[in-house]
Amino acid sequence: MIQIDITFVKKLQIKKNPKDFSMLFQFYGPKIKALMIRSGSDYAFAEDIMHDTMLTVWKKIDLYNSSKGSFSSWIYTIARNNRIDILRKKSSQPYVDINEVEMMSNDPDSEKIILDSQTAANIKKMVRQLPQKQKIIIEMAFNEDLTQKEIAEKLEIPIGTVKSRMRLAYIKLKEGFKEYQ
Partner 1 sequence: MKLSQHPDPASLLSYSSGGLSTPFSILISAHISLCNTCSEKVKLYNEIGGVLIEDTADADLSQDALNKFMNAIVHESDDRLPTDSKNVDIQQQNNNTEIPFPLYKYIGSSIEKIKWRYLAPGIKRVSILMEGEKNAYLSLLHIGPGKKIPEHTHTGEEMTFVISGSFQDKTGVYNIGDLADHDEEIEHQPTVIGKHPCVCIVATEGPMIFKSFFANLFQSFYRI
CB of 156 to partner 1, least distance (A): 18
Any contact of residue 167 with partner 1 (CB under 8 A)?
yes
Residues 125 to 164 in contact with partner 1, rule: CB under 8 A: 127, 138, 141-143, 145-148, 150, 159-160, 162-164
Q: Count the site residues for partner 1 by CB under 8 A.
A: 91
Which residues in 82-111 contact partner 1 (CB under 8 A)?
A: 83-84, 88-93, 95-99, 101-105, 109-111
Q: Is 10 in the site for partner 1 (CB under 8 A)?
A: no
Q: CA nearest 75: which of 37, 44, 33, 106?
A: 33
Q: How far apart (Å, rounded) are the C-alpha atoms in residues 47 and 149?
A: 28
Q: Does 9 bind partner 1 (CB under 8 A)?
A: no
Using CA atoms, how far apart are residues 17 and 24, in angstroms rounded to an integer? Answer: 11
* Alpha carbon distance 29, 54 (integer Å): 7
- The candidate with the shortest Cα–Cα distance to 75, out of 35, 112, 16, is 35
Site for partner 1 in 47-86 (CB under 8 A): 47, 50-51, 54-56, 58-60, 62-63, 68-77, 79-80, 83-84
* Cβ–Cβ < 8 Å for 74, 64: yes
